[in-house]
Amino acid sequence: MAEVVLFHHAQGLTPGVVAFAEDLRAAGHTVHTPDLFEGRSFATLEEGLGHARSIGFGEVVHRGARAVEGLPAELVYAGFSLGVLPAQQLNQTATSTTSPTARCRPTTRPPQHCSPGGCSSSCAHGRAAPVSRGGRDIAGGAETGAVTSLPSDGPAARGVVRLLNTAGGRVLCLAGDVDGRVVDYFLRRYGREPMRIDGIDTGSVTWLSPPAVDLVRDHLDAARRAGRPVTVRSSPQVASLIPRTDEL
């Protein structure tokens, strides 16, 4: 059986997330459900994302990291919607420091009562057993999409690059110190061709590597060529690098 850290979606640690965790416990797994919003929950996805922006996506990631301090090294990290951010960062860190077999799998169909419309993923490292729900493997099976294997050599990747599905459309979200290694992970998962996006959020970025700047500019250039408006939210650290339009 696996020991799982399950990060909630943008509406907070809702009864649906708790119920899903209970399903996993009933199957014999140990499940931790950190509250990234410190007791707050929200009725709508946009309200929850607004709160996340107010505290900073980087702070959301840091809260996730603090929540696992003192836990065993071999864990399964899982996240729904916003929870993908700390799950990805923890998986990347574990990949280069503890495990030769780390992997991250994006789920294409979130559990019915768990995600309010964002993307979800499960990330595992070490030799933990797969996690299943109702006989279906959610860490690698019928409920998952393509597998992205992460290399274990070299230094840990820093920062987060994710696609978030919001009520306002698809947002390319970057947070923290975004180095070239995490950009490489993103490109290997999604491909090098810019994707259709409706917004870019770098409001929680503290530093962008040249590959990260290129990633953002490539998506903006592709949107301009297609005549699609893209809203951009930038942190002071990257405001001079990234064009800024309306607030997300």
Average pLDDT over residues 66-91: 88
Residues 6+ apart with CB under 8 A from 70: none
Mean pLDDT of 112-122: 39
Whole-prediction pTM? 0.58
What's residue 157's pLDDT? 67
Residue of higher predicted confidence among 167 and 228:
228
Q: Which of 57-66, 82-91, 132-141, 202-211 has the lowest mean pLDDT?
A: 132-141
Rounded CA separation 15/28 (Å): 20
Q: Residue 41 carries which side chain, given as an amino acid letter?
A: S
Q: Over 50: is that where the pLDDT of 110 sits?
A: no
What's residue 156's pLDDT? Answer: 62
pLDDT value, residue 118: 38
* 3-state SS, residue 59: helix
Confidence category of residue 125, pLDDT binned at 50, 70, 90: very low
Evaluate if residue 141 carries a pLDDT over 60: no
Q: Where are the beta strands (DSSP E) in the chain?
A: 3-7, 30-32, 76-80, 103-107, 120-124, 132-133, 136-137, 148-149, 160-166, 169-178, 199-208, 231-234
Token pair belonging to 133: 């729900």
Which of 143, 148, 146 minimizes the C-alpha distance to 23?
143
